[in-house]
Amino acid sequence: MGVKTVSILACVLVALLGTGAYPSNCHNHPTSNCHYRVCPNGYSTAKAGSHRCFQLVTKQMGWQDALDYCKKDGGTLASVHGYQEYQFLLSMVKKTQGISAYSWIGLNDLDQEGSFVWTDRSDTEWFWSKSARAQQWGEEDCVALNSYTGAEGFDDITCSSGCTFICMRAAVV
């Protein structure tokens, strides 16, 4: 089955299942690029039609090595832009608790203490406004998703810690 066919099937499913649940590019704009846009192999989105694709890598590395790994794969460490993405990524990380309950994302304050940025330079507004658990940052400069039950959330830890990590790439035409 061709990529295009799979993509169209996915769009049909969205049209059948998702009307009203979230904006469906396919439903509202049948001529948009949505029909041809798919995540790279091994990557998936938090919501249908999103161009933001994620992959959990179960190797354990320090934050900088994890970032380099994602860059070599054509992306960067994940940014998180809303609650739906947050829940999606957290559930990914929970599956790796036998390895590590922490998974690196792109948030860091390496350049300037206390000034957190995403490695993709995207907006941190959601993170600051909606994050239920912005933890005490302390002297630690790299942020992981903590998936421990009861302690779920963003957690800044020492950058050299060995953690699994989440890479992010754009959907491709």
**Which positions touch Ca ion (CB under 5 A)?**
109, 141
Nearer to Ca ion, 73 or 109 (CB): 109
CB atoms within 10 A of CB 1: 6
Nearer to Ca ion, 20 or 114 (CB): 114
Q: How far is the CB of 95 from Ca ion (least distance, A)?
A: 28
- Per-residue HEC secondary structure of the chain comes to CCHHHHHHHHHHHHHHHCCCCCCCHHHHCCCCHHHHCECCCCCECCCCCCCEEEEEEEEEECHHHHHHHHHHCCCEECCCCCHHHHHHHHHHHHCCCCCCCEEEEEEECCCCCCCCECCCCCCCHHHHHHCCCECCCCCCCEEEEECCCCCCEEEEECCCCCEEEEEEEECEC
Contact 79, 142 (CB under 8 A): no
Q: How far is the CB of 122 from Ca ion (least distance, A)?
A: 19
Q: How far is the CB of 137 from Ca ion (least distance, A)?
A: 5
Q: How far is the CB of 145 from Ca ion (least distance, A)?
A: 17
Nearer to Ca ion, 99 or 110 (CB): 110
Nearer to Ca ion, 85 or 141 (CB): 141
Contact 107, 154 (CB under 8 A): yes
Q: How far is the CB of 136 from Ca ion (least distance, A)?
A: 10
Nearer to Ca ion, 125 or 139 (CB): 139
